[in-house]
Amino acid sequence: MKPAVLKLAMRSLLNRWVAAALTVFAIALSVFLIVGVERIRESARASFENTISGADLIVGARSSQVNLILYSIFHIGDATNNITWETFNDLSSREEIAWTIPISLGDSHRGYRVVGTNDSYLEHYQYGRDQHLEVAEGVWFEDIFDVVLGSEVARRLEYGIDDSIVVSHGLGEVSFTEHDDKPFRVAGILAPTGTPVDQSVHVSLAAIEAIHVGWQSGVQTPLARMATPERVRQLSLEPESITAMIVGLKSRAGVLRLQRDINNYAQEPLLAAIPALALTQLWQVVGVVERILLAISLCVAAVGLVVILVSIMSTLNERRREMAVLRAVGAGPGDVFFLLVSEAALIAFFGALAGLGVLYAALAVGEPILRSIGGISLSGLNPDGFDLIVVGGITVTAALLAAFPAWRAYRTSLSDGLAVKV
């Protein structure tokens, strides 16, 4: 009779569809939060870890490893100081170093960071599983006033090849000091990477020097207006300093020794960070928020399950006659027990499925937004084993919670329901 009881449970829920729908909504919300937090956590961590690969050290002014990787790779925050060009050349000439990438920060374009660098950036910068950057349209910068845009910058600002842009002094979406006397031409657009590279504006180190000719301590002097693009091309545009440098070694066996040497560098205070270790420290900081969100999600799930229990308990008195009639027409005590447990399990099951459906629809719609705002590329937008565990766990827990009211109905359904109350 179990299939018939299961069918009866479905009809019973449809008959009480308003209460059932509200309970399904509570369960759907809990599953949406639990799986959503897990999906975003996994994707965020993958995006963090995939931002840079193939690099052995990141070198900057002495601060903390987390701060160094935040401003040099994720373009969040500012450097405490710069590295002199002499130091960059000195470190680059060490025989154990295979390549170096200079990074110069400090300017922006409509809120997007301007990254000053050289050809080594395109040649050696890697992300994900050792993937190299690719120019999807146009070419890598060749002229001093060429600029190569990240894919998100080009898409959101609707730039194309040969468009003209103006770099602003300092950071922020709105700037009152612009290098409008030296506009840049869009020479190329990089292929999407799902990293902060997509939200960066790339120019040459010479361009950074050119737009700052005549500037002193971040302030424009009358000399700056006299430094026309034609005149600055005649100048020596070797930089005096850079913000950071990315280092690749010939052999990773010597990375710890080189890190120690750089941290003890006599000419100026430096910090060398191993990207993987710095990312681990960074994730430990971010992980606090992740654990808080997960705890909130579990609390919502607990509330949803309690709602199922309360719903069944509160309707037992109303359904005493129904239970007794079922017993009178041949249903056994076990059938009554199975009916109530089945109702709870069905509510939890359909609620969990609804939560997953809404979640994956929301992720599909929100993925481009997260990628453009936070540089987070959501991966694995298909159900997996974790989803099955959540659905199964919610369903089984709901059935177990319903066992108590079902047991009460199992004991008293016939005598209580048909008894004549005087």
In a shared domain, residues 43 and 61: no
Of 277, 281, 273, 275, nearest to 61 (Cα)? 273
Residue 94 has a pLDDT of 93
Give, in degrees to the nearest 5, the angle at Cα 54 between 198 and 248. 110
Residue 422 has a pLDDT of 43
Running DSSP on this structure, what letter comes out for residue 171? S
In-domain check, residue 240 = yes
User: Is residue 101 helix, strand or coil?
Assistant: strand
In a shared domain, residues 20 and 93: no
In-domain check, residue 217 = yes
Euclidean distance between CA atoms 73 and 48, whole angstroms: 10
In a shared domain, residues 67 and 150: yes
In-domain check, residue 279 = no
Domain endpoint, select from 273, 308, 327: 273
CB 343 within 8 A of CB 312: yes
In a shared domain, residues 154 and 263: yes
Of 5, 25, 3, nearest to 311 (Cα)? 25
Residue 147 β-bridge partners: 186
Residue 164 has a pLDDT of 93
Taking only the tens of pLDDT, the chain with its 422 residues reads 466 656 666 666 666 777 778 888 888 888 888 888 878 777 777 777 778 888 999 999 998 898 999 899 988 888 889 999 999 999 999 999 999 999 999 889 988 999 999 999 999 999 888 889 999 999 999 899 999 999 999 999 999 999 999 988 766 555 557 777 788 999 999 998 888 899 999 999 999 988 887 666 556 666 666 667 777 787 888 899 999 999 999 988 889 999 999 999 999 999 999 998 888 887 777 777 777 877 887 787 787 777 777 776 666 555 655 665 565 555 555 666 777 778 788 888 988 999 999 988 888 777 676 665 555 566 556 677 888 888 898 888 888 887 777 676 666 554 554 444 44
Domain endpoint, select from 249, 273, 297: 273
Q: How many helices (H) and strands (E) does the chain have?
A: 14, 17
In a shared domain, residues 265 and 124: yes
Domain endpoint, select from 273, 305, 333: 273
Residue 98 has a pLDDT of 95
In-domain check, residue 111 = yes
Q: Which residues does 197 contact at the CB level (< 8 Å), separation at least 6?
A: 125, 127, 133, 150, 190
CB 83 within 8 A of CB 245: yes
In-domain check, residue 95 = yes
In-domain check, residue 282 = no
In a shared domain, residues 202 and 269: yes
In-domain check, residue 305 = yes
62 token code pair: 């002495």
In a shared domain, residues 395 and 329: yes
In a shared domain, residues 90 and 110: yes
In a shared domain, residues 348 and 391: yes
At 108, which helix (H) or strand (E)? strand 97-109
Q: How does DSSP assign 28-70, residue by residue? A: HHHHHHHHHHHHHHHHHHHHHHHS-BS--EEEEESS-HHHHHH
255 token code pair: 């990375």
The number of distinct structural domains making up the chain is 2
In a shared domain, residues 149 and 264: yes
Give this prediction's pTM.
Answer: 0.72
In-domain check, residue 281 = no
In a shared domain, residues 62 and 41: no
Euclidean distance between CA atoms 281 and 85, whole angstroms: 29
Domain coverage including residue 243: 57-273
Of 146, 228, 144, nearest to 186 (Cα)? 146
Sole residue written with tokens 């026309």: 228
Q: Give the number of C-alpha atoms closer than 13 A to the C-alpha of residue 317, restricted to the C-beta side.
A: 2
In a shared domain, residues 291 and 268: no
CB 413 within 8 A of CB 333: yes
CB 144 within 8 A of CB 91: no
Within 10 A of 326 (CB to CB), how many other CB atoms are there?
Answer: 21
Euclidean distance between CA atoms 65 and 282, whole angstroms: 9
